[in-house]
Structure 1
Amino acid sequence: MKSTIGVVWLRLFTSEIRLLALSLAFIHHPLMADALLSIVLTRLASVVGQQIRDELTLVLGVEAEIQSLTDTLRSVRDVLEDAERRQVKEKSVQGWLERLKDMAYQMDDVVDEWSTAILQLQIKGAESASMSKKVSSCIPSPCFCLKQVASRRDIALKVKSIKQQLDVIASQRSQFNFISSLSEEPQRFITTSQLDIPEVYGRDMDKNTILGHLLGETCQETKSGPYIISIVGTGGMGKTTLAQLAYNHPEVKAHFDERIWVCVSDPFDPIRIFREIVEILQGESPNLHSLEALQQKIQTCIAGKKFLIVLDDVWTENHQLWGQLKSTLNCGGVGSRILATTRKESVVKMVGTTYTHSLEELSQEQARALFHQIAFFEKSREKVEELKEIGEKIADKCKGLPLAIKTLGNLMRLKNNKEEWENVLNSEVWQLDEFERDICPALLLSYYDLPPAIKRCFSFCAVFPKDSVIKIDELIRLWMAQNYLNSDASKEMEMVGREYFEYLAARSFFQDFEKDGDDDIIRCKMHDIVHDFAQFLTKNECFIMNVENAEEGRTKTSFQKIRHATLIGQQRYPNFVSTYKMKNLHTLLLKFTFSSTSDEALPNLFQHLTCLRALNLARNPLIMELPKAVGKLIHLKYLSLSDCHKLRELPETICDLYNLQTLNISRCFSLVELPQAMGKLINLRHLQNCGALDLKGLPKGIARLNSLQTLEEFVVSSDGDAECKIGDLRNLNNLRGELEIRGLRKVEDAREVQKAELKNKIHIHHLTLVFDLKDGTKGVAEALHPHPNLKSLCIWGYGDIEWHDWMMRSSLTQLKNLELSHCSGCRCLPPLGELPVLEKLKIKDMESVKHIGGEFLGSSSTIAFPNLKKLTFHNMKEWEKWEIKEEEEERSIMPCLSYLEIQKCPKLEGLPDHVLHWTPLQEFHHKF
């Protein structure tokens, strides 16, 4: 080898280089580094000359250079807020910002590469130490150290190049006369859930008009197909919200046989739209891929039925595409309706609209009233009087646009200073010229007010296609993968991410919230205007590309500038060649109508996209195994393989992804086992394995992953020492959310269960215990006593005749949901009436229960089932009698019960009078 570093490689077996190996192995040891480094450099100078010593000085000085880079970048970021404000009007500032962002990404890559190299060295050293007690075994082999020298040299050269470029950017800072500002952390404040804003404000007449046309009160039926109603208006006017209000109106629900809602958006994808229609009609995803097959299925489902289909956000003016959809829907019954929302008058004509409803701006009075309701929420009367006049002027600037009014109203809620209100009123943002008129000033003002960390989180959302349903947990984990969440030892990243999301949601950057039983937001969407704004902020960073038209969609953007990309398409074997050019990608999300990849596609992707932090390969039906090349993605922190139904195995190389935080293998039905070296994934926080039903066990190393927060299913094994036993749950006290423990039939010794210390898993709120109908499980179940703050519990297949003690004592005082299923040995039910906050109870497949009486109600409280709202009995084949005695009727029993369902209970003689006549029952579904 002719390079100077090549000379070092050839001499690696000399005693001097052996000492270098030792220095590299312990370079971060505070007591040894300086002394060893001095000795090594002195010896090398005499052996291989000054040139190599200079190069090694470069290699071993990486850490100092990285710190210098960090300091430079921090000084530049002090002026970011001013630069972002000026970029809208000043093209030169916009170019400077883009160069700075590019440098920040490059720096992030090299720092991450450096920290990964250190982590790899530590893990290799720990592995060597565990294999032998000899000190010499802790010194890496010359071959391993050779790789470390080369790796450090590569990193050093990258750092040197970045530093030179960043110095130029820093020097240009003075040319723009930027104003420095201090970064702020987000304030704590009232969230949207505490503010009751009407879904449609000032739209009563519009609502009544739309309802009249939907219900046939104000229109003539057509013979040529469904009656078509179009709601047209500019973005942010409330078209979708008005359509939602009509769609969910009780009279509309009762009027139509079928109701279908589809987000059309742009581009108009017939196969995707037809698949969504079939999925709604059938309740499950269709196994159909051709357009003709989907059309036939839709026609079969709606033939002769009166249906309502809402086509939200229609953009296409292609008559052929629209004709395919309209002809498919012509077989519906008389009175069927199509309701379309669009921004374009040309679309209204194209669809052959029967009635057009133009949605106008709110009146000045309505706009001011809506702004007042939001902005002055919980402000004192004195403060309202002080700010009222300024508030009216701000509301007027929104020009009757509901989205703008809500956005600015939420911005002003926390501002109590009159000067702050005047700054918003007098902002230069309101004077945006013709070039920037498509940017919503209210959004820009609200965005400027965000702390820098939250700005990054918002702008990242441009990577999601329009109308996407965004899962909040997934979004937060993607933010984590990009290092966007500033956290410390006192606060988990996930908690910071939740706070950032709520901050954005409270300022109208998200909408259409879906909540769980605890009133936490679990899904949401972004308004089209908000999405357009996010794309404006990230037009050279975030990219949504159709793989069939990659070159057309790229516009003038350099592939190498793109950092976050979503690929969409319909091809069965998509062409990823254009994707390979995006070698600096940090995020890659695949969104195919029906996707599959050839055997060469994934390895090639992994070879080219080595900077990836987040990779989503979900819902790919033909992936049978993940290529070994996945181990090259050393930066990867988020990997989703969910719903890859044919995936049979993961390669051992996946365990080399030491930075991995999230691994999603949910519903990978064919996956039998996980790699044995999973214990090396020391940064893994979320292992989503719900529905991976063929997993026979979990690798033993998972028990060492103390950072693990999500482990949806713990599969108990009794096969040797390679897989987890129930006791291996002991150290996983950071687990939270949902946990299902499967394979409890394999547990023979209750003492092994006690090692799991389930009582210490205080963050687990939803627990499922699967016993698989085994007798003699009472002792095991007793040892599985969970913590008393559990919110949801499911017990499946409990095999003993008697219930374990903690069920009989009703000690779960915070339990809201309970399901007892296939507990075939139990002849009676535990005293569940004593559970103070229980709201939903489901009892099914209890074959030995013949009689339900006072034991079910319990006796220690004056009110039995004080909060029970929903009660279900299902498939109780031997159940004959449900009895509430007269003396028990003196107590208050089920005072909140509103829903009762009894199905497949053929021997049941009848129901207690108390249940039928003395509970506030609203729904009763029965089929004995």
Structure 2
Amino acid sequence: MAEAIVSAVLEQLTSIIKEQIQQEARLVAGVSKEVKKLTNNLQVIQAVLVDAEQRQVKEMAVRLWLDQLKHTSYDMEDVLDEWNTAILKLHIEGFEDTDVPKKVCFPFHSVCFSFKQVGLRRDIAVKIEEINENMTDIVKTTDTFNFNVIKSVEKPELVQSTSLIDESEICGRVEDRGALVSKLLSEGCVDNDLHIISIVGMGGIGKTTLAQVAYNDDEVMKNFNKRIWVCVSDPFDEYRIAKAIIEGLEGNASNLVEFNSLMLKIHESIKGKKFLLVLDDVWTEDYNKWEPFYHCLKHGFHGSKILITTRKETVACMMKSIDIINIKTMSEEESWVLFKRLAFFRRSPNECEPLEDIGRKITSKCKGLPLAAKTMGSFLHFKRTREEWQYILDSEIWKLEEFEKGLLPPFLLSYNDLPSPIRRCFSFCAIFPNDYIIEKDVLIKLWMAQGYLGFGKDKELEIIGHDYFNNLATRSFFQEFVKDLDENIIQCKMHDIVHDFAQFLNRNECFNVEIHGNEESLINYFDQEKVRHLMLTVSKEASLPISICSIKRLRSLVISCGDFSYSLPNDILSKLLFGELTCLRALCFDFPISPMSEIPKEIGKLIHLRYLKLKGCTGLEQLPETLCGLYNLQNLDLSHCINLRELPQEVGKLINLRQLLNERTDSLRYMPIGFERISCLRTLSEFTVSGGGNSKACNLDCLKDLNHLEGKLTVRGLSNLTNGSETKRIEGLTNKKKLFTLMLKFDKTTEWETISKNDEVVLEALQPPPNLETLSIWYFRGITVSPNWMMSLTKLRVLSLWNFKHCKHLPPLGKLPSLESLYLTIMLSLKRLGNEFWGIEAMSHLHQLFSSQN
């Protein structure tokens, strides 16, 4: 991973120098020399990093050298980011400085600087010099290791989503599957003891997969009234496990707090029910933790079963298992079937035949472990030549014995073959807990915030992120995909062994911690000088530990609270998070709902911040103006902040903002003047139109300059537009070629019952994008829907007209050539749809018509 960091520093350094030259704003004397020296040092180190990263697993000295390099590079990234932010500030605000009005001009160039700006640049120069000294020391020690110069993988192979292989079928295990299903369908114990079945085997051998197949067997599903799946993992969190069982039984999590109350709820919920409970990945050998569950779960209906997966037979015995299934490694033939299904996916027999003998030898090195065979098969799917396969077979990495037996070599071979930026993306995933449901879009935003996807506001970083994700998915680093209706992945998980491998790679950089009380010993979990990414999962009664403020170099902080409401006190936010953790690039309050009512002005100190997630903060009514000084901010998530009344007035200064997620900000009254300056914006959930009398608001035409907008957009408040100059022709939406879904809302007001000719004028004035595929219009108060532009939407597939109480006439929508679905809801005044509406000769393509008057 050090290779990726060094490459990123060099890219950032080159970008800043180029920016300096373009602005003709030189550094103070001596810094150019230091910058050149730093660049040379980084290039010398970069040449040997591939060899160093391959040797670090075996050689402790190399590992320590890389750690030193990584942390020095992180410090360098912070300094360069500070420098870049200073340049951005000059660009956005000019050279005005209200605090220090006096300026000084240097004779060697034409630009004037305030004393404060010169002081900042001198401060940056000193920091670069100090870090350069450390980097020089690191360079001096490279000779002692005799590193080889090896060319790294430069660019990732582009992976199409169709290459994701369906791995729902497992290979082999026929006897194990039959035996397990038979035990689950049996009548169970004669007495009142729980019938507990345990699947025991080493990591990566297929315990969870076998349990999943049995859990989803048709006969098994018919046999039980309730089926519950709980990932237990380590540590054994009684409170979380109890809530998960209740959620599985009742359909939603309980609001109960006391553990005894949770046990009583489970006891009540299973009465008279025949249930199957799967406890996946159990580690604890402490019977005191299991005993309350054992006594509580005994009261289910006769024939109920508990299925456990564990790596230790002592756990199975402690939990009083009646049946223990010891999973053995797969036979070579079973491993080969699994391997070749992935490695030879969509290859012709002529391509496969020359590789079969080497493939069988590689499969034998996987030692019968399904996860190893799957990882190698996915990895070699990208290798086309016999020479490449032979190189993998002959690799020294197969001799490694660390980590889970037999699993480290396949993981390392696949990992080392990745381009360095994707390696960095994968290892970052160690921040999540085991069995965590990873939101794909959130993960890409976190990668982007750290600079893993590159730099530059004109780059399509989101597309790069999707390519990186698909690359990792096709190599089996992710699994258990959840897809949307268009077959796009929206969620995934990591196998627990793959997660362990990510943590193995990170060594003291990524952590996830569960907080149950006021745990001020948090800093004892890790080396506070080295940790960079942290996820805290807080329980309902827990408070955020003050000790977190000592982790000064923290770059990512995700605070999650499960499924309940949670808030942070204002003094914690201002003094702790925003006052001390000033290196943060990503700050996510991952709460389903939070009454948090204020974001302190101290947030302006987080100058490195790229991703701020405030989703669900229902108490927020406004944001501080200091937020507009976060010039590096790329993603701002304000979704479901339902009481947010206004955005900061100078939000236009956020010129690097790419995504503003403000869905369900129903109280937002307007978009501030200057909003059009955010020309990088790719995603905007909602645009609120204000009335003409608001001097602080921009109008809908300000969207003209936001040419990168894509995906979906909702425009609210169209009723606020009045008949006049502002409704002659509204061109803000016209040229948005990547905008495919549009929702237009004429607000439901107290005057909604009244017919409005103005709504007809406004609708006519709108000029929607030409490539629209889905269009929804709400609360229209006109009598006739006949804008000239509607029949020009030749790519429109879905049209929804909702709550048109006064509408009597519709255009000939049947003539729209691509229309597949038409939704007409609450059209109380519409009496008839005649031939002129259907366009009889063209209506055969219309697949669905949904009409409702309710």
- Aligned counterpart for 1:597 among listed residues 559, 568, 572: 568
Q: How does 1:730-745 map to 2 (within 5 A)?
A: 730-745=704-719
Letter matched to residue 861 of structure 1: A
Q: 1:716 touches 1:725 (CA, 8 Å); kept in 2?
A: yes
- Aligned counterpart for 1:705 among listed residues 678, 686, 699: 678
Q: 1:652 touches 1:677 (CA, 8 Å); kept in 2?
A: yes
Letter matched to residue 802 of structure 2: S
Corresponding residue for 2:376? 408
1:409, CA displacement in angstroms? 0.9
Q: Label 1:861 to 1:194 Cα distance change in 2 as closer, same or farther (>3 A).
A: farther
Q: 1:576 touches 1:605 (CA, 8 Å); kept in 2?
A: no
1:243, CA displacement in angstroms? 3.1
- Aligned counterpart for 2:730 among listed residues 737, 755, 758: 755
Q: Label 1:190 to 1:692 Cα distance change in 2 as closer, same or farther (>3 A).
A: closer
Corresponding residue for 2:669? 696
- Aligned counterpart for 1:493 among listed residues 450, 458, 461: 461
Letter matched to residue 577 of structure 2: L
Q: Label 1:463 to 1:511 Cα distance change in 2 as closer, same or farther (>3 A).
A: same
Q: Label 1:830 to 1:373 Cα distance change in 2 as closer, same or farther (>3 A).
A: farther
Q: 1:726 touches 1:752 (CA, 8 Å); kept in 2?
A: no
- Aligned counterpart for 2:539 among listed residues 567, 570, 585: 570
Q: Does 1:656 align with 2:656?
A: no
The CA distance in 2 between the partners of 1:78 and 1:405, in whole Å, is: 32
1:261, CA displacement in angstroms? 3.0
Corresponding residue for 2:171? 201
Query: Tell me, what secondary structure is at the counterpart of 1:687?
Result: strand
Q: Label 1:488 to 1:556 Cα distance change in 2 as closer, same or farther (>3 A).
A: closer
Number of residue pairs matched by the alignment:
813
Q: 1:665 touches 1:692 (CA, 8 Å); kept in 2?
A: yes
1:235, CA displacement in angstroms? 1.9
The CA distance in 1 between the partners of 2:618 and 2:584, in whole Å, is: 24
Q: 1:225 touches 1:329 (CA, 8 Å); kept in 2?
A: no
Q: 2:791 touches 2:813 (CA, 8 Å); kept in 1?
A: no
Q: Label 1:516 to 1:858 Cα distance change in 2 as closer, same or farther (>3 A).
A: farther
Give RMSD over aligned pairs. 3.4
Q: Does 1:675 align with 2:648?
A: yes
The CA distance in 1 between the partners of 2:213 and 2:817, in whole Å, is: 36
Letter matched to residue 822 of structure 1: N
Q: How does 1:358-377 map to 2 (within 5 A)?
A: 358-377=326-345
Once the two structures are overlaid, the 10-residue window that deviates more, 833-842 or 238-247, is 833-842
Q: Does 1:825 align with 2:802?
A: no
The CA distance in 2 between the partners of 1:164 and 1:319, in whole Å, is: 55
**TM-score normalised to structure 1 length:** 0.81
1:826, CA displacement in angstroms? 3.4
Q: 1:830 touches 1:856 (CA, 8 Å); kept in 2?
A: yes
The CA distance in 1 between the partners of 2:660 and 2:327, in whole Å, is: 47
Q: Does 1:802 align with 2:784?
A: yes
- Aligned counterpart for 2:579 among listed residues 588, 607, 624: 607
Once the two structures are overlaid, the 10-residue window that deviates more, 616-625 or 483-492, is 483-492
Q: Label 1:192 to 1:727 Cα distance change in 2 as closer, same or farther (>3 A).
A: closer
Q: Label 1:742 to 1:577 Cα distance change in 2 as closer, same or farther (>3 A).
A: same
1:682, CA displacement in angstroms? 1.1
The CA distance in 2 between the partners of 1:653 and 1:618, in whole Å, is: 22
The CA distance in 2 between the partners of 1:840 and 1:235, in whole Å, is: 49
Once the two structures are overlaid, the 10-residue window that deviates more, 323-332 or 461-470, is 323-332
The CA distance in 2 between the partners of 1:852 and 1:299, in whole Å, is: 58
The CA distance in 2 between the partners of 1:748 and 1:248, in whole Å, is: 58
Q: Does 1:146 align with 2:146?
A: no
Compare relative contact order (CA 8 Å, sep 6+) and give the higher one, 1 or 2: 2
Corresponding residue for 1:582? 551
Q: Label 1:756 to 1:372 Cα distance change in 2 as closer, same or farther (>3 A).
A: same
Corresponding residue for 1:182? 151
Q: Label 1:272 to 1:438 Cα distance change in 2 as closer, same or farther (>3 A).
A: farther
Q: Label 1:840 to 1:864 Cα distance change in 2 as closer, same or farther (>3 A).
A: closer
The CA distance in 2 between the partners of 1:674 and 1:329, in whole Å, is: 52
Q: How does 1:248-259 map to 2 (within 5 A)?
A: 248-259=216-227
Q: Label 1:778 to 1:737 Cα distance change in 2 as closer, same or farther (>3 A).
A: same
The CA distance in 2 between the partners of 1:295 and 1:829, in whole Å, is: 59
Q: Label 1:71 to 1:873 Cα distance change in 2 as closer, same or farther (>3 A).
A: farther
Query: Percent same amino acid at aligned positions?
Result: 45
Q: 1:200 touches 1:238 (CA, 8 Å); kept in 2?
A: no
Query: Tell me, what secondary structure is at the counterpart of 1:861?
Result: helix
Corresponding residue for 1:781? 763
Corresponding residue for 1:724? 698
Q: How does 1:820-899 map to 2 (within 5 A)?
A: 820-826=801-807, 842-848=823-829, 858-861=839-842, 863-866=844-847, 868=848, 876-877=853-854
Corresponding residue for 1:898? none
Corresponding residue for 1:889? none
Corresponding residue for 1:764? 739
Q: 1:858 touches 1:864 (CA, 8 Å); kept in 2?
A: no
- Aligned counterpart for 1:170 among listed residues 139, 142, 153: 139
Corresponding residue for 2:4? none
1:89, CA displacement in angstroms? 0.5
- Aligned counterpart for 1:388 among listed residues 353, 356, 360: 356
Letter matched to residue 200 of structure 1: I
**TM-score normalised to structure 2 length:** 0.87
Q: 1:607 touches 1:632 (CA, 8 Å); kept in 2?
A: yes
Q: How does 1:310-321 map to 2 (within 5 A)?
A: 310-321=278-289
Corresponding residue for 2:602? 629
- Aligned counterpart for 1:89 among listed residues 44, 53, 58: 58
Q: Does 1:157 align with 2:126?
A: yes
Corresponding residue for 1:880? none
Q: Does 1:474 align with 2:442?
A: yes
Corresponding residue for 1:915? none
Q: 2:228 touches 2:277 (CA, 8 Å); kept in 1?
A: yes
1:812, CA displacement in angstroms? 4.6
Q: Label 1:299 to 1:643 Cα distance change in 2 as closer, same or farther (>3 A).
A: farther
Q: How does 1:302-381 map to 2 (within 5 A)?
A: 302-381=270-349
1:810, CA displacement in angstroms? 8.0
Larger radius of gyration: 1
Q: 1:834 touches 1:864 (CA, 8 Å); kept in 2?
A: no
Letter matched to residue 755 of structure 1: I
Corresponding residue for 1:914? none
Q: Does 1:444 align with 2:417?
A: no
Q: 2:634 touches 2:659 (CA, 8 Å); kept in 1?
A: yes
Q: Does 1:424 align with 2:392?
A: yes
Q: Label 1:120 to 1:857 Cα distance change in 2 as closer, same or farther (>3 A).
A: same
1:778, CA displacement in angstroms? 2.7
Q: Deviations over 1:554-580 (max 9, x none)?
A: 668421111111123326352423212
1:222, CA displacement in angstroms? 6.0
- Aligned counterpart for 1:790 among listed residues 752, 772, 775: 772
The CA distance in 1 between the partners of 2:664 and 2:731, in whole Å, is: 23
Q: 1:66 touches 1:111 (CA, 8 Å); kept in 2?
A: no
Q: Does 1:746 align with 2:716?
A: no
Q: Does 1:665 align with 2:646?
A: no
Corresponding residue for 2:3? none
Q: 1:207 touches 1:246 (CA, 8 Å); kept in 2?
A: yes
Letter matched to residue 124 of structure 1: E
Q: Label 1:490 to 1:124 Cα distance change in 2 as closer, same or farther (>3 A).
A: closer
1:429, CA displacement in angstroms? 1.3
Corresponding residue for 2:795? 813
The CA distance in 1 between the partners of 2:768 and 2:303, in whole Å, is: 55
1:111, CA displacement in angstroms? 0.3
Once the two structures are overlaid, the 10-residue window that deviates more, 97-106 or 319-328, is 319-328
Q: Deviations over 1:488-545 (max 9, x none)?
A: 6874111111111111111111111112222221111111111101101101211223
Q: 1:229 touches 1:354 (CA, 8 Å); kept in 2?
A: yes
Once the two structures are overlaid, the 10-residue window that deviates more, 348-357 or 636-645, is 348-357
